[in-house]
Structure 1
Amino acid sequence: MGALGRALKAPFIRFGRAYNETAQKYPFSTGVLTTVVKTSAADLFAQKVMERREEVDWRRHGMFVAFGFGYLGCWQFYLYNDLFVRWCKPLTALVGHVGSAPIKTFIDQCIHHPLLYFPCFYSLKGMVEGRPWADSMADCHEHLWENCKALWMIWVPAQMINFTVVPLHLRIPFVAGVSFAWTVVISCMRGALDKTPPARVEGGSMGPSAVADADAAASSGVARTSTISLQPLLNASTASADSQDSPVAAPPPVGLAQLISDEVCDPASAPLLLR
């Protein structure tokens, strides 16, 4: 049995070693490619498994993949692996990665995401839905606090680990892996298994906010039956030992906090998330 176990594990070990060596040689290309693949897989999973679409919406898929490439891949690689390293270099030299990780996590979760990530994500969401940019920003501001709370539940501990022990060249892949894994877990827990009827208002029609959220999709990252982050798992991806989604949507959108506690919130006011 020991020999069989080693034989079964050997291909995964070889792949892991090859991936690590490639990431060390080409951290940017490996990180961005990993994020693109993750974003593509997450949106396809959302459309086919969670939303149970017969036909893939390739326009939406292409926009999410572009978001995964440009924002979650290129921009976040530069942010985590270059800017964060330079900004925190004196602190890291003084107290090490364990001491500087809380500062990086604070900048990422309390400044980067509220001020940049969420507006960009909601802008993309609005483009997918064909809505005016002003409406997208209104949604972003309306759901910002709920989105941040759901974001922090997963990504504060994840980024603390990422900035503390994950080598720089593997930070983007780490975030992409956490993001996709969480998307699948939430889907199995609730998203693909729950079919909640949409909220109705006057005349039996859905309210504008419910309609918008019902038609959306993410981070990054995910599906229509519940709100999940594709990177910040909405949000990001990075790569070396000193710095460092998909968006989703849902018929009645449900924030990560609500998913975890198994409480369904009002579809018209529920947060839409994320990486």
Structure 2
Amino acid sequence: MAPAASKLRAEAGLGPLPRRALSQYLRLLRLYPVLTKAATSGILSALGNFLAQLIEKKQKKENCSQKLDVSGPLRYAIYGFFFTGPLGHFFYLLMERWIPSEVPLAGIKRLLLDRLLFAPAFLSLFFLVMNFLEGQDTAAFAAKMKSGFWPALRMNWRVWTPVQFININYIPVQFRVLFANLVALFWYAYLASLGK
């Protein structure tokens, strides 16, 4: 067989790989929804922090090959795995029960529930858990909340309100955590920049 034909067949073999990966993800999502969402959240949260570090190094014009802080992505992975994935999973399910789609203005009511209750509570939890994982005391937590909470919440409302409108109204419930995780790659990069 000619090398070009062999190469063409090898490249054609890459097509099914993404389909197999998606199929496997969907299978795991069906069998182990909380664990799958937790793992996905942990990985993507860590990646978001890693991205934040790369952006920061680039802005400071530092050599990107210099050592990155592995404790940051580790903290974000822990937060994503134990908090973002599971809480997101149950929140979206409860939202469906509390405000069924048949309720008038369900999409707006769900969005208000998310933006006015879940977002501030989740952001507070983020600051609390990160403070704990960083080994900081309560005074540091109070200072971080005082200086960073309102700017972060205002930015959250700006960034996440249209995202959550789409997520809540158009994304199937089983994919909402994943959709939010993909947007959160950049959101966590922003939050990580606040900690500096």
TM-score when normalising by structure 1: 0.56
| Aligned match of 2:107 | 101
Indicate the structure with greater helix content. Answer: 2
- Structure 1, gaps ≥5 residues long: 184-218, 223-227, 229-246, 254-275
Instruction: Please give the residue correspondences for 1:118-197 in structure 2 after superposition, counting only pairs within 5 Å.
Output: 118-127=123-132, 129-180=134-185, 183=186
Task: String of CA shifts for 1:143-196, please: whole Å, max 9, x gaps.
Answer: 33322221122211111111112111111111111222xx2xxxxxxxxxxxxx
Q: How many residues align?
A: 181
Confirm or deny: 8 A CA contact 1:31 1:73 kept in the other structure.
Answer: yes
Q: CA deviation at 1:94?
A: 3.5
2:42 counterpart of 1:36: yes
Q: Comparing 167-176 with 13-22, which one deviates more in the overlay?
A: 13-22
Deviations 1:64-95 (A, max 9, x none): 221111110112211222x2122113xx2334
Pick the structure with greater CA Rg. Answer: 2
**Unaligned ranges ≥5, structure 2:** 1-7, 58-63
The TM-score with structure 2 as length reference comes to 0.75
Q: Secondary structure at the match of 2:103?
A: helix
2:84 pairs with 1:72: yes
Aligned partners of 1:250, 1:171: CA distance in 2, in Å?
26
The percent of aligned pairs where both chains have the same amino acid is: 20
Bigger relative contact order (CA 8 A; separation at least 6): 2
Q: Would you identify which runs of 4 or more consecutive aligned residues in structure 1 move more than 4 Å? A: 6-10
2:96 aligns to what? Answer: 85
Partner of residue 249, structure 1: 193
Q: Does residue 110 of the first structure (1) align with residue 121 of the second (2)?
A: no
Paired residue secondary structure (1:93): coil
Distance 1:20 1:59, change over 3 A: same
